[in-house]
Amino acid sequence: MNANAGPSPAARLRRPLFQKVFAVLFAAVVLPLLASGASEAWFGYLDQRHTLDLQLRAEADAAAARIQEFLDGIPSQMNWTVQAPWGEGLDERHRIDMFRLMRQTPAIVDAVLVDGDGRERLRVSRTDPDVEMSEVDHSADPAFLGARAQRLWWGPVTLHRGSEPFMTVAVAGARQSAGVTIAEINLKFIWDVISAIHVGQTGQAFVLDRSRELVAHPDISLVLRGKDNPAAAPLRALQVAAAERGGGLVAGADTEGRAVSAAAKRIEGPDWTALVALPAAEAYQPIRAALWRTALLLLAGVAFAAALAYGLARRMIGPIKALEDGASHIGAGEFGTRIEMRTGDELERLAERFNTMAGQLALSQERSERINRLKRFLSPQIAELVESPGHERLLDSHRAVVTARGARDPSAVADARPRNRIRDRDRHGRGDRRADRLRGSD
């Protein structure tokens, strides 16, 4: 075997026809689907994010409005208790105002009336006995000082005996002699408001104060854990991020570690922040559904392209294989081979060209063989002249078999004929040449 011989056609076949057809169909079918799916997912994501921003903002605004309404109702009721100035003793009007306040504001647990000098005149409680004219000094109390300075003071959130969150509110009268009313508010009512807010299927609302402590959450146990609760750290991060974005849509995590999208709204007065969070898995469910649809379409497109490529390649490989086999037979010298093909396209035309070429090669081979036989008896020039086009009559009109003299190989003798047949051939040949000269002279 020749080591320098080039690789066979099968070895040189690096990319089968199926792969090429599949690549073309993949580019024609799958790539447009991929581009369409990617653009749909991207613009769908932008639209969903915008819609989510509007939805969460609206929920946060609604939650903040309900909490703000609840909180604003408390000072408005407390204002009735600081209208009349104080005298030397406790008058009946102040007592009636305090009882009315406790009846109309269930969130107030304790209320204290303090005169303009900071002395306690009346204490009303839902859990303890009422106290009159105790003269307890509240002049250094932050609630008293804050109310005297701002007319309305909101205290920090505290846990009353570690059970429920409370907040202190103080309201001062228009005149210093009207004194200040200090009330302790049970924030469980805010928890009721927060628990009633539902965002989507798994969304939540919660409230943090200005010191980033949890005020209200659907899971009350998170609030009761007090300050520096590590479980509330993700909520604090959401509060900071929302403040930086002006309350707009932010991403973060909730207390369970789930990725969430949240929006916030500031609550005036106590300077709280109401946040509404929706898990990202639910928030972007439409986008994931669109991506799944696109993935299924892509898989269907790939399967369709592969099936179509297989069908086309199979349909083309048959005729090409027939052409390849026919070319192999013709190349091996079997010029009588004919390629039968009825595809009605360029492949059929190519097969006809192969058949025509095979016929021409067969004629050429036959002529070459005749010339080689004649060269054994005639000179090469005469033999080629005899076989050249237009001179076939030289053999057709005078058929004679020449017996080679002195031939050593018996197979070289074509036929043995009487010598007089050779003389007849020469005589007729001279007659033909004479007749040709006469016609030429005419």
**Which pLDDT belongs to residue 428?**
46
For residues 115 and 153, membership in a common domain is answered with yes
For residues 156 and 182, membership in a common domain is answered with yes
Q: What is the DSSP string of 273-334?
A: EEEEEEEHHHHTHHHHHHHHHHHHHHHHHHHHHHHHHHHHHHHHHHHHHHHHHHHHHHHTT-
Structural domain that includes position 57: 44-71+191-283
**Which pLDDT belongs to residue 411?**
43
For residues 154 and 224, membership in a common domain is answered with no
For residues 134 and 179, membership in a common domain is answered with yes
Q: How far is CA 376 from CA 367, 372, 405, in A?
A: 15, 7, 12
Q: Which of 254, 283, 312 is the last residue of a domain?
A: 283
> How far apart (Å, rounded) are the C-alpha atoms in residues 376 and 60?
112
**Which pLDDT belongs to residue 170?**
93
For residues 176 and 195, membership in a common domain is answered with no
**Which pLDDT belongs to residue 417?**
42
For residues 59 and 105, membership in a common domain is answered with no
**Which pLDDT belongs to residue 138?**
86
- As for how many domains the chain has, the answer is 2
Query: Is residue 307 assigned to a domain?
Result: no
> How far apart (Å, rounded) are the C-alpha atoms in residues 228 and 236?
10
CATH number of the domain enclosing 247: 3.30.450.20
Overall size of the chain counted in residues: 442
For residues 178 and 199, membership in a common domain is answered with no
Q: Which of 258, 283, 308 is the last residue of a domain?
A: 283
Q: Which of 226, 258, 283 is the last residue of a domain?
A: 283
3-state percent breakdown (helix, strand, coil) of the chain, nearest 5: 55, 15, 30
Of 215, 233, 198, nearest in space to 274 by CA: 215
**Which pLDDT belongs to residue 154?**
92
**Which pLDDT belongs to residue 407?**
40
Please list the rounded mean pLDDT of every run of 10 residues in the chain (442 residues): 49 62 76 80 82 87 88 88 76 84 89 88 87 86 89 86 81 85 87 81 86 85 78 87 85 87 89 89 81 82 79 73 76 75 74 80 78 71 62 50 42 41 47 46 44
Indicate yes or no: pTM above 0.85: no
Query: Is residue 314 assigned to a domain?
Result: no
Q: What is the DSSP string of 364-409?
A: HHHHHHHHHHHTTTS-HHHHHHHHSTT-THHHHS----PPPTT-S-
